[in-house]
């Protein structure tokens, strides 16, 4: 059974059952057992709000026993805790499947996806450390500022030409 600890120090056990699969489908219109497993994994990592809602449904019996609302539950999940919660949910999903080979390939898919996300984040961090990025941003800001000044001057000229044409008497 997968578990995680929220920001309030509460330990949550995450286990998928047929009943909870149905409950998630009914409440949130998410089919956790969709044949397109990669889409389910993408949803769980890409839509954080939906992931918290799913996690709440999976932990709802524990939440009910402790009188914790979905709002309180959601407020206790962010940052590393949220990351751990999503991982626990994915592990519970993987463990749910009865076929060991299916569990193995889904686990490998998850590992590859998370490795890819880590690489992408590392590349973004490297890119942002490059001084050329800051120089490019400065150039874009100067260009935008120059355009804004030009637009403002152009607007003033057209306004003043309207004012002067109104003061000319018509014959």
Domain shared by 59 and 31, yes or no: yes
Give residue-wise pLDDT tens across range 102-119: 999 999 999 998 999 899
Number of domains in the chain: 2
Residue 35 vs residues 29, 31, 39, 93: alpha-carbon distances, Å = 15, 9, 9, 13
Residues 40 and 120 in one domain: yes
From residue 46, alpha-carbon distances to 83, 97, 107, 113 in Å are 12, 22, 18, 12
Predicted model pTM = 0.72
At residue 34 the predicted structure's pLDDT band, cuts being 50, 70 and 90, is confident
For residue 60, the enclosing domain spans 2-129
Whole-number Å distance between alpha carbons of 93 and 98: 11
Place of tokens 């149905």: 22
Q: Are residues 115 and 142 in the same domain?
A: no
Residues 60 and 96 in one domain: yes
112/69 same-domain check: yes
Is the confidence at residue 85, as pLDDT, over 90?
Answer: yes
103 shares its domain with 144: no
């Amino acid at each position: 059974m997968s578990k995680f600890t929220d920001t309030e120090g509460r330990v949550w056990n995450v286990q998928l059952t047929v009943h909870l699969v149905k409950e998630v489908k009914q409440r949130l219109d998410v089919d956790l057992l969709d044949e397109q497993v990669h889409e389910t994994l993408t949803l769980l990592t890409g839509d954080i709000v939906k992931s918290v809602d799913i996690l709440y449904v999976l932990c709802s019996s524990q939440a009910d026993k402790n009188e914790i609302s979905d709002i309180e539950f959601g407020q206790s999940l962010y940052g590393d805790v949220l990351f751990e919660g999503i991982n626990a949910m994915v592990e519970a999903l993987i463990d749910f499947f009865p076929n060991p080979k299916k569990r193995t390939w889904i686990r490998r898919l998850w590992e590859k996806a998370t490795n890819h996300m880590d690489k992408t984040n590392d590349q973004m961090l490297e890119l942002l450390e490059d001084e050329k990025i800051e120089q490019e941003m400065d150039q874009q800001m100067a260009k935008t500022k120059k355009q804004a000044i030009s637009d403002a001057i152009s607007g003033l000229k057209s306004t003043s030409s309207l004012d002067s044409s109104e003061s000319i008497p018509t014959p």
